[in-house]
Amino acid sequence: MAFDFIFMLTSNDRTIPDARARLEQVLESGVRHIGFKDVGLPFDELRELAQVIRQAGGRSYLEVVSLDAESEIASARAAVSLDVDCLLGGTRAPEVTAITRDHPLRYYPFPGRIVGHPSVLQGPAEAIIDSARRLTDLEHVHGLDLLAYRFDGDVPALMAQLCAAVTKPVIMAGSIDRQARVEAAAQAGAAGFTVGSAALDGVFPAETEGFIGQLQSILRMTGQARRLSRAPRRIALVAHNNRKAHLRAWVLRHAQLLSGQRVISTGSTGRMITDALPDLAVKRLQRGALGGDQQLGALIATGELDAVVFFADPSGGHAGDADLQALTRLAIYHDTPLALSPSAADALLAGMIGV
């Protein structure tokens, strides 16, 4: 995630009664990350929400708010049955991952001690950060859902310290109701943030009235805040043999910007980049012909790449055409930016990092 706005069809930690009707407006506004809670609507209606989000090309989120063990386990099973993309919240990671580990959903539990309904995050900050480290050490935990503004303390400091302490993405949730809080989450290094009641109640300043105006206003704030983000972008760099020299020149030109990102590359391309920039940390996959392109496809499918730069050989009849076609299809389906030439890659980097 590259700092995304996740709209929650919720109010007071419950899915709103008219969620299905509101969902049409959410999609019309351009929001692509959409979630709901595990309480508030019958299961069949939650299933319909998940299906409509998927059919529209969005990414679906189910957030757990139940605090007792039996309800949390039931929610994890519901997430699997609903086939959502991400499960947010909950406090019993070992029990939940036993249920979700064989499902492609991404799991982001709450760090720290959560009490009450609506949920509140209790400290001290050191204990919350220690909890975050323990959770992200678990194999089938893919990130964290931090109830940042439900914490009675220095929230910006907690967000920044926690994001710095873990290598997995952190989503900020709970009472984000103004632009300053969106920007603070980005500056802390968050991968995204959730808004629910605040948009439904119309608290954000907007150019146009109504619910859609609220969502479009938050999307604009998100784009502005993304340029403040300290979270490293996960960028795949690949090139066909006849285009490796072009990619090498592009990497050298953007060496300073790339040094702060997480670069992933297929085997021989990764070696070329490492030879050109020895200080740049590059995670190397298999060579493309030996499965590296398929590994990249898997990272796109699981939401672990923010962008792909693939300098493709346009001459035709290339042995890697089928792999490029498969990556392109996955990038479209999972809404992952894909650049196939230096100019496109320049524009992509400028949009992501603000150069």
The candidate with the shortest Cα–Cα distance to 263, out of 244, 242, 285, 295, is 285
Q: CA-CA distance, 186 to 172, in Å (whole number)?
A: 9
Q: How far is CA 296 from CA 124, 168, 261, 275, in A?
A: 40, 18, 17, 21
Which residues, 6+ apart, have CB-to-CB distance to 237 below 8 Å?
A: 247, 251, 263, 264, 265, 269, 270, 273, 282, 309
Q: Do domains 4-226 and 234-353 have the same CATH topology?
A: no
- The stretch 313-340 carries a mean pLDDT of 81
- pLDDT at residue 318 greater than cutoff 80: no
How far is the C-alpha of 346 from the C-alpha of 294, rounded, in Å? 25
Q: Residue 351 — very low, low, confident or very high, per pLDDT cuts 50/70/90?
A: confident
Q: Write out pLDDT tens, residues 94-123.
A: 999 999 999 999 999 999 999 887 788 998
Segment 294-317 shows an average pLDDT of 85
CATH superfamily of 4-226: Phosphoenolpyruvate-binding domains (3.20.20.60)
List the beta strands (DSSP E) in 84-228: 86-89, 106-108, 113-115, 120-122, 144-146, 170-172, 192-195
> What average pLDDT does the segment 294-308 reach?
88
Whether pLDDT at 315 is above 80: no
Strand, helix or coil for residue 282: strand
Mean of all residue pLDDT scores within the chain: 90
Pairwise pLDDT comparison (11 vs 7), residue with the higher score: 7
Q: Return phi, psi of residue 113, to 5°.
A: -100, 120
Return the pLDDT at 325. 85
pLDDT band at 354 (very low <50, low <70, confident <90, very high): low
Are the C-beta atoms of residues 232 and 262 closer than 8 Å to each other?
Answer: yes
Task: Provide the pLDDT for residue 161.
Answer: 96
> Catalytic residue positions?
293
Beta strand pairing call for 120-122 and 113-115: antiparallel
CATH class of the domain whose range is 234-353:
alpha beta
Query: What mean pLDDT is predicted for residues 11-20?
Result: 91
Does the pLDDT of residue 289 top 80, yes or no? no
Residue type, 225: A
Domain boundaries, the chain: 4-226, 234-353
Q: How far apart are CA 327 and CA 321, in angstroms?
A: 10
pLDDT at position 230, please?
75
| pLDDT confidence of residue 317 | 59
- Residue 346: pLDDT over 90: yes
pLDDT of residue 242: 87
pLDDT digits (tens, 9 = 90+) for 41-88: 999 999 999 999 999 989 999 998 777 899 899 999 999 999 999 999
> Tens of pLDDT along 153-185?
999 999 999 999 998 999 999 889 999 999 999
Residue 226: predicted pLDDT: 85
Using 50, 70 and 90 to split pLDDT, how confident is the model at 352?
confident
Distance in angstroms (rounded) separating the CA atoms of residues 177 and 200: 11
Q: pLDDT category, 353, cuts 50, 70, 90?
A: confident
Positive or negative CA dihedral for 11, 14, 19, 23? positive
Determine what percent of the chain is predicted with pLDDT higher than 90: 64
pLDDT at position 41: 92
Characterize 282-316 residue by residue with b for buried, 16 or more Cβ atoms within 10 angstroms of its Cβ, and e for exposed. Answer: bebbeebeebbbebbbebbeebbbbbbbbbbbeee
Enter the DSSP assignment of 151. B
Q: How far apart are the first and last CA of the chain?
A: 19
The answer on pLDDT for 321 being more than 80 is no
pLDDT of 319 above 70 = no
**HEC-encoded secondary structure of 164-200:** HHCCCCEEECCCCCCHHHHHHHHHHCCCEEEECHHHH
